[in-house]
Amino acid sequence: MILEIERTYSKQDKILVATDCIVFGLDQGILKLLVFKRRIDPLAGQWSLIGSFVDADESVPDAARRVLYQFTGLENIFLEELRTYSNIERDPGARCISIAQYALIRIEDYNKELVEKHGAKWFGIDELPNLLLDHNQMVFDALNRLRLKARRKPIGFELLPEKFTIPQLQLLYEAIHLRKLDDRNFRKKLLSFGLLIKLDEKDRTTSKKGAFLYKFDFEKYKVLEESGFDFVI
């Protein structure tokens, strides 16, 4: 037993710990991902998820928040662990595991200068380029997770502006689930939760009639969630 422990300790210093972020944004009804082109070796010139090694004095989500702030200027981003990628051969250059996390951001809020400065770019999920290492796999897994999660939790609101219309919300869910939803059933269901606060303003950018703006009632949802409420769409 002691020998076993010592064996593993001695080998341990060879593993590097990184985190990679799958950053989702919603741009005019299209689900997009933020990736950047590496400028330095190894793998310079290749598209990559944004990520970093984890410092000894920070947790994994803190590392992700640090790098998200660097690239977008945003703080308080929705962030959730996806899973760990730890195949021995995943990174030919080093023995490195990556704990992938996905983030949802309001695409209109990010700092454009920072994004450009780092060579980052938004791609629609259908037109994503090849990414280095196992990053395409991470994106695939993150999309599946997002779809699963969006069925049971109201995470979509993290992607929308604070004020949004019901048709906008529907477009988001259609973008996530890749299928058309019925207007009437969608509206009925969403309003039935009593979690949308109708405002007195209308958004007239997409129609002459204008659509009423709503806010999501995060406070009320928090209370409901604790008593086991399921937000199922």
- Residues near DNA (CB under 7 A): 165-167, 182-185, 187-189, 202, 204, 206-212, 232
129 binds, among a copy of itself, DNA, none (CB under 5 to 8 A by kind): none
Q: List the structure tokens of 184.
A: 């009437």
CA dihedral 95, 99, 104, 108 (to 10 degrees): -30
Nearest to 65 by CA among 47, 118, 74: 74
Q: Does 44 engage in binding with a copy of itself (CB under 8 A)? A: no
Q: Does 39 engage in binding with a copy of itself (CB under 8 A)? A: yes
Report d(CA 29, CA 82) in Å as an integer: 24
Residue type, 128: L
Q: Does 141 engage in binding with a copy of itself (CB under 8 A)? A: no
DSSP for 31-49, please give it. EEEEEEE--SSSSTTSEE-
Q: Does 73 engage in binding with a copy of itself (CB under 8 A)? A: no
Whether residue 33 contacts residue 24, with contact meaning beta carbons closer than 8 Å, is answered with yes
Identify which range of 58-66, 156-164, 183-191, 200-208 contacts a copy of itself by CB under 8 A: 58-66
Closest approach, Cβ 218 to a copy of itself, in A, equals 22
84 binds, among DNA, a copy of itself, none (CB under 5 to 8 A by kind): a copy of itself
DSSP for 72-122, please give it. H---S-EEEEEEEE--TTS-TTS-EEEEEEEEEE-TTTS-HHHHHHTTEEE
Closest approach, Cβ 46 to DNA, in A, equals 39
**One residue of 88, 184, 192, 219 binding a copy of itself per CB under 8 A:** 88
CB proximity list for 4: less than 8 A, separation 6 or greater:
none
Closest approach, Cβ 91 to a copy of itself, in A, equals 12
Report d(CA 98, CA 51) in Å as an integer: 9
Identify which range of 84-92, 104-112, 129-137, 154-162 contacts a copy of itself by CB under 8 A: 84-92
Q: List the structure tokens of 164.
A: 């949004």
Closest approach, Cβ 203 to a copy of itself, in A, equals 35
Closest approach, Cβ 14 to a copy of itself, in A, equals 4
Q: Does 81 engage in binding with a copy of itself (CB under 8 A)? A: yes
Contacting residues toward a copy of itself, per CB under 8 A: 1-2, 4-5, 7-9, 11-17, 39-40, 52-61, 70, 81, 83-84, 86-88, 95, 97, 99, 118
